[in-house]
Amino acid sequence: MASILKVDSIGKTSGSTQDTMAGLAKAWVNFDGTATDAAARDTFNVSSMADRGTGLATITLTSAMSNSNYAGTTSCMGTNGDDDGRNYIAVAMPKDADEVYVNQFTTSGSAADAGYVAAQIMGDLA
C-alpha cells in the first residue's frame, strides 16, 4: 500500500528544521561529452542525453521541473581523469521545464566536448 507523509519541514530532534523538498537536487548526471549523444555514466531523474554539436549537450529530465527558472551547476574536465588539464569549463542552463542545456568550452572560449561533466539541478518539480 502506498503511504504519504504530510509535513512542511523535517529536522533532527534538536535544532532547526528545513524545507526538505526545496533543498533536494531534482536531477544529477555524470556524463562523457565526447561520446556519441553525450553518454551518461550515472544519473538521477534523467531520461536521455543528446549531443547538439561540439561542446553542446542536452539533458532531458524524466520528471519535469515546474518552470524554466531552476538552477544548474556544473564541473568538468577536458579528459576524464586528467590531473593536470586546466583548460575546460561547462555551464548548465534551463532550456525549458524538462530540458537542460550543458555547454562546454575551452578557457580560450572555443566550443569543445569535455570528457567528464558533472551537472546538478536544483529547483521545484512540476
Partner 1 sequence: MASELRVNTLKDANGNNSIATSFVAAGSAKAYGYAQHRTSTVELKDSFNISSWSDDATGQSTWNINSDMANTTYTPVVSSSYDASAGGSQVGCDEVWVTGAGVFKHDTFFGNGTYYDNDYVYAVAHGDLA
Q: Which of 17, 44, 93, 95 binds partner 1 (CB under 8 A)?
A: 44
3-class secondary-structure state, position 37:
coil
Beta strand 116-122 with 71-77 is: antiparallel
First to last CA, the chain: 24
* Stretch touching partner 1 by CB under 8 A, among 16-24, 52-60, 96-104: 16-24
Nearer to partner 1, 82 or 96 (CB): 82
Residue 60 within binding range of partner 1, rule CB under 8 A: no
| Vertex 27: Cα angle to 22 and 28 (nearest 5) | 125
Cα angle value 112/113/115 (rounded, 5°): 135
Binding mask 75-94 for partner 1 (x = CB under 8 A): xxx--xxxxxxxxxx-----
Q: Applying CB under 8 A, which residues contact partner 1?
A: 2-8, 20-21, 24-26, 28-30, 41-42, 44-45, 73-77, 80-89, 107-108, 116, 118-120, 124-125
